[in-house]
Amino acid sequence: MCSFPTGVTVITSLDAAGRPCGMTCTSMTSVTLRPPTLLVCLRVGSATLEAVRSRGAFAVNLLHHRARRTAELFSSPVADRFERVLWKRSGTGLPWLTEDAFALADCRVAEDREMGDHAMVLGHVQQVTRAVDTPLLYGLRRFSTWDPAGHDPAHAARQAEENR
């Protein structure tokens, strides 16, 4: 599936002691609008999955195109990830990567099912925070982005107006 480009997120939560946990995730999708529900796939045995299960909640930080370093950091075994990025607690108390995420969806766990070495976690969206920016993508084993205005001049004009 590496040839299928997708958006890049960092899934965050708090462990039982209240410490932030997070991991890079490209396996995220919208499932339904009523109720608004997202699905994320997290590696079984990861500290992030354990925190999500313990807390019963997670945040989906959608990374903008300048956040490649953060995507790489949260996909590495580095223990002090949250000391290397700017973050704060969201309105629901979950870790929000304020400088790297152009959107945040705080979710309450609705269902959790293991399949092989990953768990599929469905979350009902409780709160959304967003700004206008270009997302970071991953595909063909590399990070990339696209110019959303590249195929639509009207979109470019709207984007320029929103950024004023």
CATH number at residue 94: 2.30.110.10
The predicted pLDDT at position 28 comes to 96
Other Cβ atoms closer than 10 A to 43: 14
In a domain, residue 101? The reply is yes
The predicted pLDDT at position 148 comes to 64
Indicate the SS3 state at residue 10.
strand
In a domain, residue 143? The reply is yes
Is residue 116 over pLDDT 90?
yes
The pTM (predicted TM-score) of the whole model is 0.87
In a domain, residue 95? The reply is yes
Interatomic CA distance for residues 133 and 7, integer angstroms: 13
In a domain, residue 145? The reply is yes
In a domain, residue 135? The reply is yes
Is residue 97 over pLDDT 70?
yes
Mean pLDDT, rounded, for 71-93: 96
In a domain, residue 92? The reply is yes
In a domain, residue 1? The reply is no
Mean pLDDT, rounded, for 84-90: 98
Is residue 50 over pLDDT 80?
yes
The predicted pLDDT at position 5 comes to 80
The domain total for the chain is: 1
Question: What range does the domain containing 82 cover?
Answer: 6-162
Mean pLDDT (the chain, rounded): 92
User: pLDDT above 70 covers what percent of the chain?
Assistant: 88
Is residue 163 over pLDDT 80?
no
The predicted pLDDT at position 141 comes to 84
88-94: Cβ within 8 A, 24+ apart: 90/59, 90/127, 90/129, 91/127, 91/129, 92/57, 92/59, 92/126, 92/127, 93/14, 94/12, 94/13, 94/14, 94/57, 94/58, 94/59
DSSP run (H or E) holding 14: strand 9-14
Side by side, the strands of the sheet bearing 20-25 are: 20-25, 9-14, 57-63, 101-115, 118-130, 36-43, 28-33
The predicted pLDDT at position 4 comes to 76
User: pLDDT above 90 covers what percent of the chain?
Assistant: 79
